[in-house]
Amino acid sequence: MIRKPNRYSKPRKAYELSRIKEENVLLEKYGLKNKKEIWKTIAKVNYFRRRAMALAKSANEEQEILFNKLRGFGLKVSTIADVLALTVEDLLQRRLPSVIQRKGLAKTVREGRQMVIHKRVLIDNKVINIPSYLVYVNEEGKIKLKKRKPKAPKQEISETKEAREIKEEQPKEAKEKAK
């Protein structure tokens, strides 16, 4: 089995108070499960920055490919300086639970996350159950909640219990008569 490399790196200083406070604010604001999710997002931002630095010397066509991808996520990018100015919050705002909350389908980001995990969110009629899914601008209008099936009324359930009890009593009476 081939081991996959980490998609993030841990902070160099484990107990840096200012970083911990910033991460706690992000955890609360965007309804994240743990700090690993923040570190993964930081890794994505760093990837885009490194890619922009590498493309700074190359042709405009290659730069436009990167810019179009970032514009697809709803990020306002037109120059390499804009890509280098990207923040973690820019990407966290494009995560599926944040978009669901912003659209009004959920009251809080945590509620939006729960909907995603419980497979109640459809994008273009496909179930998405990954909270870290980055939503493209053209997909934003296609987000829907899956309709729930109505539960059976409680009266029917109680009637079936009574019917089961009657059925169970009949064989007992038949056994007693046989003796």
Q: Going by DSSP bridges, is the β-strand pair 143-145/126-127 parallel, antiparallel, or unpaired? A: unpaired
Residue 57's domain spans which residues?
1-93
Rounded-to-integer distance, Cα 12 and Cα 15, Å: 9
CB 129 within 8 A of CB 96: no
pLDDT tens-digit profile of 139-178?
999 999 998 888 777 665 555 666 667 666 666 666 666 6
On whether residue 37 sits in a domain, the answer given is: yes
Same-domain check for residues 8 and 69: yes
Same-domain check for residues 54 and 136: no
E strands, 74-179, are 121-123, 126-127, 143-145
Same-domain check for residues 34 and 61: yes
Same-domain check for residues 81 and 49: yes
pLDDT tens-digit profile of 45-81?
999 999 999 998 888 899 999 999 999 999 999 999 9
